[in-house]
Amino acid sequence: MSAHPHVDAIVLGGGTMGSATAWELGKRGRSAIVFEQFHHVHDLGAHSGDTRVFRHAYWESPDYVPLVRRADELWMDLEAESGQRILERCGILEMSAHGLDGPQASIECAVAWDIPHEVLAPAEVRARWPMVNIPDDWTVMYSPVAGFLRTVPALRAMMAGATANGVTLRAHEPVRDWGATDQGVWVDTAEGRFTADRLYITAGPWVATTLARLGMPLHVLRKTLFWLGVDDAAAFDSARFPVWAAQTAAGGFYGFPVIDEFGLKCADHQGGHPTTPGTIERTATAEEAAYIVDEVTRLFPGVNGRVQRAAVCMYAMTPDAHFIVDRMPGQPNVIIGGGFSGHGFKFAPAVGEALVELGENPAARPMPILAIDRAVLAV
């Protein structure tokens, strides 16, 4: 018998998707508890580093476009509710070196879904953005409706909206075990057993451990982020400089306008070493920095290559890099949001909404591309 009152829902993991799920549960007036093992908003999981790319022309699959359009509406709702600036629409430049795929799939997606975009010749790019140095044989797409999300205000605003509607956040309280029957769900923490009608598992890079009983083929990648010095910060401000992605012979790189004293934030999307949340090396190495500095200073000569900040983060990967947003097989009161594979943040409020809908509406179906019974997840 639990000493704690039974609630409608428990959320296991109060990071990106847990905060979004909590916001949705709060909007629906549900009684809910969010368990977070660390502080709410921290730099030990998948959401560290202050900013995330937001874009609609989705090269990964056009199936994501309705989800990102819904997320766009919900980010705007969150800005209105919180009075905070969360999404900066400074545009994105997607660029690729001659002979590489680069933005072709994004261009096709933008055409098919009527997403504002321009296909630009490199000379036009250099004229409009003099800080960009690309050769004449590159392919470039610019989308003005893209930009970046500020992660800290985004997560705080979603959780504030949730708690204002009665959701309880229990930070620094790891879930040690959980279970489900047809009657309901339970989780155990150091404070005892908590019960609910439904459990939402949004454990980020810890999802493989949390879902070990499913034996799913998830893995975690260690990722590094760097902030490089710029000679003229105003030239790289979001009023003049967009988010960018560049496919070169060395890899797939991306970065952001300068928003603080640390300079131009940049990273590579393709690399990364397998790790686990318990064993990850949390300090970036000089070799990792050199690899990024080399490419980014070539693309943007105004970047001076001085590393002013570095961070380490984790991607929770599925085999096909598509998410899992679905009910647990045979246990419809356990709903999983995991495997966001390094591109989930932009969708967060729409994912939170989809998870709660799957939990509460038996007729709701997962998006096929995100379903847990797709072939690559079979064990």
Residues that bind ligand FAD (CB under 6 A): 12-18, 35-38, 45-47, 49, 52-53, 174-175, 202-206, 210, 223, 225, 267, 313-315, 340, 342-346
Tokens read off for 119: 């296909």
Tokens representing residue 204 in the block: 């980020």
- The answer to whether the CB of 63 falls within 8 A of the CB of 369 is yes
DSSP for 245-288?
EEEETTEEEEE----STT-EEEEESS--EEE-TTT---S--HHH
The DSSP call for residue 352 is H
| For ligand FAD, the closer CB: 245 or 303 | 245
Q: How far is the CB of 14 from ligand FAD (least distance, A)?
A: 6
CB 179 within 8 A of CB 185: yes
With the C-alpha atoms ordered 173, 350, 119, 247, is the resulting torsion angle positive or negative?
positive
Cβ closer to ligand FAD: 126 or 152? Answer: 152
With contact defined as beta carbons under 8 Å apart, do 264 and 236 qualify? yes
Nearer residue to ligand FAD within complex by CB, 98 or 273: 273
The distance of closest approach from Cβ of residue 301 to ligand FAD in the complex, given in angstroms and rounded to an integer, is 24
**Contact call for residues 276 and 207 (beta carbons, < 8 A):** no
CB of 16 vs ligand FAD, minimal distance in Å: 3
In the bound state with ligand FAD, the residue whose beta carbon lies nearer, of 107 and 218, is: 218
**Nearest approach, Cβ of residue 37 and ligand FAD (Å):** 4
Contact 203, 220 (CB under 8 A): no
Can you tell me the distance from the alpha carbon of 140 to that of 91, in angstroms, rounded to the nearest whole number?
13
Nearer to ligand FAD, 30 or 150 (CB): 150
Least Å distance between CB 144 and ligand FAD?
A: 18
Query: 226 vs 236, which CB is nearer to ligand FAD?
Result: 226
Q: How far is the CB of 344 from ligand FAD (least distance, A)?
A: 3
Q: To the nearest whole angstrom, how small is the minimum distance from the Cβ of residue 341 to ligand FAD?
A: 7
Residue 314's nearest CA partner among 20, 47, 42 is 47
Residue whose C-beta lies closest to ligand FAD:
15
DSSP string, 39-73: -SS-SSSSS-SSEEEE-SS-TT-GGGHHHHHHHHH
Comparison of 2 and 234: residue with beta carbon closer to ligand FAD: 2
